[in-house]
Structure 1
Amino acid sequence: MDGVTTTGVRASARITARADGRGGTALPVLDGEGPLALRRTRSTGSEARVMVVGAMSGPLGGDRFTLTARVEEGARLHVGSAAATLALPGQAKGEARYDVRLDVAAGGELHWLPEQLISVAGSDLHVTTRADLGAGARLVLREEQVLGRAGEQPGRLTSRLTVCVAGRTVLDQELACGPGAPGGWDGPAVLAGHRAVGQLVVVRPEFTDHAVEARMVGECAALIPLAGPAVLVSAVAPDALRLRRLLDEALTRLG
């Protein structure tokens, strides 16, 4: 943990995955403290697996969290989290920030599959996720946001997701929800009264030659081809369980 100040906690974590030369993936850098503790779990084949374990509550108001992951050529990395992340109000004033930076080299593969982010009443969180991929890299990235716990209103949540492939931006979107967000966020053109929203981004080189057709996945999810070798699935649902089912179904359809 980088430190605790009167304006909140500063914390960062770093992961580097590297091919070990024996058909597996090594983790020469696995460094996280405080609220961003990292644990290596049992590997599957050539894939290394890491779990983000929340050792503290948060992010709270004023906190600044940064998590970076780099996957080098020929390495395969799977990152999940042990539990949902709760964005909570804190004693410090101002918004909390959670910045995720993902870098996948050509020939690398990353599955970024954390649990849901829950925006608790009174919280104010700005999340940014940026993934930079080399040509031929592979990515499965899932984001899920739940607006409020059962029976409560959400906090303020701003989420920005950017994906670049071989230096080209294929996705750059931002969603703001909750008190103080621009009008219409809960209207029929955005969430339509739903309280769970998620995105799934899949990047595979074969999508370049075999494009995926746009289609609906159930009533509340859409599969949308992006420029180059990328596909976006965007979904809304009444709750986290049904949102996960929609995103899992879409991933299964992609094969």
Structure 2
Amino acid sequence: MNKSINLKQRPVGTPTLSDFEFKELDNELKVSDGELLLEAKYISVDPYLRGRMSDAKSYVPPFVVGEPISSGIVAEVLESKNGNFQKGDFVSGLLQWKEKQISTGEGLQKIDKSKAPLSAFLGIVGMTGLTAYLGLHEIGKPKKGETLVVSGAAGAVGSVVGQIGKILGLNVIGIAGTDEKIDMLKSEFGFDHGINYKTTKDMKAAIKEAAPNGVDVYFDNVGGPISDAVLFNINQFARII
């Protein structure tokens, strides 16, 4: 028996269990030439999925009501008639929320579980880590001793950006929305400074205090008034991601 998680109805506000259908599928999965049978091991649940549950116009199409949700998934190859994959391989890619499914292999990437835990390929060595690493390195082009400001710093991408910044010898300032997050940024992730934008009355002054020599690299995850305050302190020839 196979199983799937489908979108039952479009949520209003925060999604609840009633918005989803946990469905048992009795159809037999037969692998044809060029295909492979996959079994899901880990599913990535990301903030952007909430947007796809709505039918509002967006940069990605909405989920179809009555159909399985899809996101990044790590899966094991149970059977293969595709020359690029073998039984026992592990892969990651955009797949449906099903226990088992047939794939042509398009968009799948083989992963090596000896390099990192399988779940990490949906996080630090997956899209999250690549976004942080490539954004900071390719666009930010940081130099040792420079000052990096990260908004949304306690989020998946932001927290990785800050840690990479510390490895590279940067002065790292993280902006987040609770004191608990600020404590985490400094005590667990090694950020030099943290600013709680919800309790700080003057963000421009707070950033200037943490970055007296100005901001050289800004990794912007939020936009709006927070970015305005950072830009007030930005250096000439700074890089903004």
TM-score by length of 1: 0.25
The structure, 1 or 2, with the larger RCO (C-alpha pairs under 8 Å, 6+ apart) is 2
- Structure having the higher Rg: 2
- Per residue, is there more helix in 1 or in 2? 2
- Per residue, is there more strand in 1 or in 2? 1
